[in-house]
Amino acid sequence: MSEEKKREGEKKKEEKLSRFIVSAPPHLRGPEDVSRIMLLVILALLPVTVEAVAMFGIFAVQTILLCIISSVVTEAVIQKIRGLPITIDDYSAVLTGLLLALCLPPKVPFWIPIIGGIVAIGLGKQVFGGLGFNIFNPALVGRAFLLMSWANHLTGDWYKTVRVDAVSGATPLFVAKQLRAGLVNVDLSQFYKPLLLANPYGSMGEVSALLITLGGLFLIVMGIIDWKIPAGYIGTTFLLSWLLGGDPIFYILAGGMLFGAFYMATDYVTTPITGKGRLFFGIGCGLVTVLIRFYSNFPEAVTYSILFMNACTPLIDIYIKPKKFGAVVK
């Protein structure tokens, strides 16, 4: 009896001990976590996604869903093979899939988004070790791969099959390129309104510059993305296009410029960590974009400019460090 009591007493003592968790400070944690951040970015992308679906219908739905499913499945399969915890519930793969879909045209063969998702997550992210370790923006890796492999499916005349009122096969940027070459004579300002509100040419993420900007501002206000990257990117593009004799407003609205500036160039993992470094990153993106748009054979440049600056990120982080508090010469 007494022994039983003793044991009970010990048990109680143990229970009392294990009531307390001991860990290092701080003992309070902020409201932010990774999945919440990813969900907020997805939320910011919803208006654009909805407009794309409204404009292109079932084709858009198919492409978006296939991209997301392919990305998420690839992530889960690779993590399973590597014996790691499966972290698809952090929504980062969902976001990659959605971003990839939005930089594809609405109607592509069904295997394009599937391969895109596999490459984006597999080659863009998981080979480096997963979330936090990749050097290049996964969605852009997927897009660049598809663009180089099946350019005809990404830039071809897919739109003729979905839009009866499509009269020209040229995206606004292609028109601008022809204008610079002196092949056509058009006023680029006629594109302002469609580019802002409902642009049928190009990728799904280019349907409305207005919705993209609103989503981007939402993320800035919520403290999810740093304003310095889009500001540097857009500002530089505006200034350089203008200096080089282009129509600066057109060059900002057209193509994947705004989509890239707000959603791709602001990817945490692949961009510098300091405020100054981010501004520098944005300026670099703008510089490369304008150079490619004006002096190369490609009409569009956002993908490659961001990937190029992704490669420069470690270098920027080494050279740009914040000034320490009290770091004065004694």
Partner 1 sequence: MAKTFPGGVHPPEYKELTRDKTIEDFPSPSKVVIPLSQHIGAPCEPRVEVGESVKKGQKIGDSEAFVSSPVHASISGKVKSIEPHLSFLGTKISSIVIEREEEGDEEEIYLEVPEEPTPDDVKKIVREAGIVGLGGAAFPTQVKLSPPPDKPIDAVIINGCECEPFLNNDFRLMVEKPDSIVDGLKLIMMTLSAKRGFIGIETNKPEAIKIISEKVKGESDIEVIPLETKYPQGSEKHLIKAILGREVPSGGLPFEVGAYVQNVQTTVAISEAVRKGKVLTERVMTVSGPGIKNPLNLRVNIGTLASEIIDYCGGLTEDVGKVVFGGPMTGFAQSTLEIPVVKGTSGLTCLTREMVIPTNHPLYCIRCGKCVQVCPVNLVPNTIASYGYLGMFEDAEEYGALDCIECGSCGYICPSRRPLVQLIKFTKAKILEEKKKKK
Q: By CB under 8 A, name the binding residues for partner 1.
A: 17, 19-30, 32-34, 36-37, 87, 90, 130-133, 226, 268-269, 271-275, 278, 317, 321-328, 330
- The encoded tokens of residue 89 equal 């519930």
- Return phi, psi of residue 170, to 5°: -100, 135
Buried residues in 15-43 as b, exposed as e (16+ CB within 10 A): eeeeeeeeeeeeeeeeeeeeeebbebbbe
CB of 221 to partner 1, least distance (A): 15
CB of 327 to partner 1, least distance (A): 5
Closer of 64 and 229 to partner 1 (Cβ):
229
CB count within 10 Å of CB 287 equals 18
CB of 272 to partner 1, least distance (A): 8
Closer of 75 and 226 to partner 1 (Cβ):
226
Buried residues in 192-228 as b, exposed as e (16+ CB within 10 A): bebbbeebbbbbbbbbbbbbbbebbebbbeeebbbbb
Report CA-CA distances (Å) from 196 to 102, 143, 193: 16, 23, 5
CB of 248 to partner 1, least distance (A): 29
Q: Is 126 exposed, middle or buried (0-12, 13-18, 19+ CB in 10 A)?
A: buried
Q: What is the 3-state secondary structure (H, E, C) of 265-294?
A: CCCCCCCCCCHHHHHHHHHHHHHHHHHHHH
CB of 32 to partner 1, least distance (A): 4
String of DSSP letters for 190-234:
GGHHHHHH---SS-GGGS-HHHHHHHHHHHHHTTSS-THHHHHHH
Residue 100 in contact with residue 139, Cβ under 8 Å? yes
Closer of 114 and 273 to partner 1 (Cβ):
273
Closer of 30 and 83 to partner 1 (Cβ):
30
CB of 79 to partner 1, least distance (A): 13
Closer of 24 and 167 to partner 1 (Cβ):
24
Closer of 89 and 168 to partner 1 (Cβ):
89
CB of 226 to partner 1, least distance (A): 7
Closer of 5 and 27 to partner 1 (Cβ):
27
Tell me, what amino acid is at 155?
Answer: T
